[in-house]
Amino acid sequence: MGNINWRRVIGGGLVAGLVMNISEAALHGGMLGQDGVDLFKSYGVPHDPQAWQIIGLIATTFVLGIVSVWLYAAIRPRYGAGPMTAIRAGLAIWVVAHVWSGVYIGAGFTGLIPAKLAWLPVVWGLIEAPAGTLAGAWLYKE
C-alpha cells in the first residue's frame, strides 16, 4: 500500500474540476439558465450575480474535483487502480454533493424552488461527478 501522490491528486483534481466546471456551466448557463432567471424574477429579486459569487462557485467546484481524485487515490488499495474505482469514487462524490443538495433544496424549499431546478442538477451530476473523477483519476499515479 503506497502513499498518496499529492501532486497527482492536485493535478488530476484540477482536471476533474475543469470537467465539472464545464459541465456546470452547460447546465446552469444553458439548460437551466432561463429557469433560474425566471425564479429570481418571480420573487422580485435582481439576478445579477457578483464576480465573487461566480469565482466562489468555480473555485469550490475545483475543490470538489480535488476531493474526488483524493477519494479515488484513497480507495485504490482496496478496489484497485482503474476506471471502475474512479467511477465508484465519482458516485460517492455524487451522493455527497449532488443528492444531498437536491434533497436539501427539493425538500427544504418545496413550493419555492421548482422541481426542475432542484432535481435536474441531481440527475445531471450522476454523469458529471463520475466523468470528472474518471478524467482526473486518469492522471493519477502513485
Surface-to-core class of residue 104, CB atoms within 10 Å of its CB (0-12 exposed, 13-18 middle, 19+ buried) = exposed
Neighbours of 10 (CB within 10 A): 15
Rounded to whole angstroms, how far apart are CA atoms 47 and 40?
A: 6
Specify if 73 maps to a domain: yes
| pLDDT higher than 60, residue 105 | yes
pTM of the shown model = 0.92
- Indicate the pLDDT class of residue 92, thresholds 50, 70 and 90: very high
User: Of the candidates 45, 25, 41, which has an alpha carbon nearest to the alpha carbon of residue 33?
Assistant: 25
Specify if 64 maps to a domain: yes
pLDDT in tens, 46-55: 888 899 999 9
pLDDT for position 127 = 98
User: Of the candidates 12, 112, 108, which has an alpha carbon nearest to the alpha carbon of residue 65?
Assistant: 12
pLDDT for position 108 = 80
The stretch 35-44 carries a mean pLDDT of: 91
Q: Give the burial string for 44-68 (b: 16+ CB within 10 Å, else e).
A: eeeeeeeeeeeeeebeebbebbbbb
| pLDDT higher than 80, residue 56 | yes
Its domain, for residue 28, covers 6-138
pLDDT for position 1 = 56
The stretch 36-50 carries a mean pLDDT of: 89
Instruction: Give the lowest-confidence range in 26-35, 74-83, 89-98.
Output: 26-35
Specify if 1 maps to a domain: no
Structural domain count of the chain:
1
